[in-house]
Amino acid sequence: MICPICKKKVSLLDAEAPFCSERCRVLDLGAWASGDYIISTEPAFERDNGE
Ligand SMILES: [Zn+2]
pLDDT of residue 30: 84
> What CA–CA distance (Å, rounded) separates 50 from 7?
50
Residues within 5 A (CB) of ion ligand 1? 3, 5-6, 8, 20, 24
Predicted pLDDT of residue 47: 66
pLDDT at residue 42, as a whole number: 62
Between the CA of 37 and the centroid of ligand 1 the distance, in Å, is: 18
Spatial CA neighbour of 3 closest among 22, 23, 18: 18
Measured in Å, residue 41 CA sits from the centre of ligand 1 at 30
How far apart, in whole angstroms, are the C-alpha atoms of residue 31 and residue 44? 27
Task: Name residues of the chain where pLDDT drops below 50.
Answer: none
Cα 28 to averaged position of ligand 1 atoms, centre (Å): 9
pLDDT of residue 19: 94
pLDDT value at position 14? 92
What is the structure's pLDDT at 7?
96
pLDDT at residue 29, rounded to an integer: 85
Largest CA-CA distance found in the chain, in angstroms, rounded = 56
